[in-house]
Amino acid sequence: MARKLALAHLPTPLWRKDELDRIVGAEVWVKRDDATGGAEAGNKIRKLEYLLAAALDANATTVLTCGAVQSNHARATALLARSLGLSCELFLRTRTPHEPTPLTGNHLLDQLAGATVRLISPEQYRDRSALMNGRAEELAQSGQRAYVIPEGGSNGLGSLGYVDAMREVREQVDLGLCGGATEFDAIVHACGSGGTAAGVALGAGVTGLTRRAVAVAVCDNRAYFERTIERITAEALACDPSLRTGNVQAEVVDQFKGPGYGIASSEQKQFIVDVARRTGLVLDPVYSGKALFGLARLEPKPSRALFIHTGGLPGLLAQGADLEAQL
Ligand SMILES: *Cc1c(COP(=O)(O)O)cnc(C)c1O
């Protein structure tokens, strides 16, 4: 079994509000993985508990990873690497070479953590693995040891963090913290690199929490994520063959991604504002807002759902200007 560090504040709460049920049109239990920590909070900590343990076991001195400029994963990696005494280098994708990258949200936290940030173009980003592996070799020549974490921490090892999250929900449900019922019609969450989806589907199979694991894509499309999730799942099964007992396949829906990655439609922004004003629950416009928006429109609509709030608050704080019209 793979070793993991204890980095997250666990168990995260299960949260429910009648007013949220009314907005969504279903009984919604929110798994508050936005509360897995402080500034490093969100879904990525659960993956990094495994990935950073592997980095330490490999005697790494530096962690390399990648993402968008406002990547939550890059920010969580930068902060947690520093907390473990590791250096961190981030390869961050900008839309155009000279796109301004203001010191807000995740990017501010990356810099605060002292991560080395390399801004790269979308073309360079396509070869991100080669780029990071090349940098790892360079570091090796100067006597350092780099550990490369893929986009989103999404490989088989990282996805085990979400198998564990489903085991955590199973324990909470069995303690009666979820209104007495022992299953959900669906478990729903945002999907950006596929690792969470792979772990949730495997974990749902192992724990019997649901037969329907819905991954709401925020970029790319269904075919891309089905392929990606299949690859990550195979890697996870190689890490832990006992997960083979599961038989739940991720259901990818890609009609709620809005105008593009990181860009929400005005209807989605209005939804995020409405949820915050009526329930106090803060969603982000890149991931969790689109996912809950999708749950409210899902067909067939589950009558009892577990929604995984995956975090993303710094990304929201970087988009104030985009939300102004809805406020
Ligand atoms: C990364 C992220 C996701 C998506 O998780 P993946 O495992 O990358 O698919 C969802 N929500 C938030 C807030 C994230 O940062």
What does the DSSP assignment read for 192-222?
SSSHHHHHHHHHHHHHTS-S-EEEEESSS-H
Helix, strand or coil, per DSSP, at residue 299:
coil
Best residue among 65, 66, 196, 254 to mutate for probing ligand 1's pocket (most ligand atoms within 8 Å of CB) is: 196
Burial level of 10, CB count in 10 A (0-12/13-18/19+)?
Answer: middle
Kindly give the pairing relationship between strand 146-148 and strand 116-120: unpaired
In this prediction the pTM is 0.98
Give residue 244's pLDDT: 83
The answer, yes or no, to whether any atom of ligand 1 lies below 6 A from the CB of 106, is no
The answer to whether 71 is a known catalytic residue is: yes
Helix axes 266-279, 288-297, angle to 10 degrees: 90
Per-residue pLDDT of the chain (327 residues; tens, 9 = 90+): 799 999 999 999 999 999 999 999 999 999 999 999 999 999 999 999 999 999 999 999 999 999 999 999 999 999 999 999 999 999 999 987 777 889 999 999 999 999 999 999 999 999 999 999 999 999 999 999 999 999 999 999 999 999 999 999 999 999 999 988 899 999 999 999 999 999 999 999 999 999 999 999 999 999 999 999 999 999 999 999 999 877 899 999 999 999 999 999 999 999 999 999 999 999 999 999 999 999 999 999 999 999 999 999 999 999 999 999 999
Best residue among 43, 109, 159, 286 to mutate for probing ligand 1's pocket (most ligand atoms within 8 Å of CB) is: 43
Ligand 1: centre distance to CA 140 (Å): 31
* Distance separating alpha carbons of residues 157 and 236, to the nearest angstrom: 6
The answer, yes or no, to whether any atom of ligand 1 lies below 6 A from the CB of 246, is no
The answer, yes or no, to whether any atom of ligand 1 lies below 6 A from the CB of 153, is no
Burial level of 193, CB count in 10 A (0-12/13-18/19+)?
Answer: buried
Tokens (6 digits) for 240: 């832990």
Tokens (6 digits) for 60: 């790494």
* Distance separating alpha carbons of residues 146 and 137, to the nearest angstrom: 8
Residues 6+ positions from 212 with CB-CB distance below 8 Å? 184, 185, 186, 187, 248, 251, 302
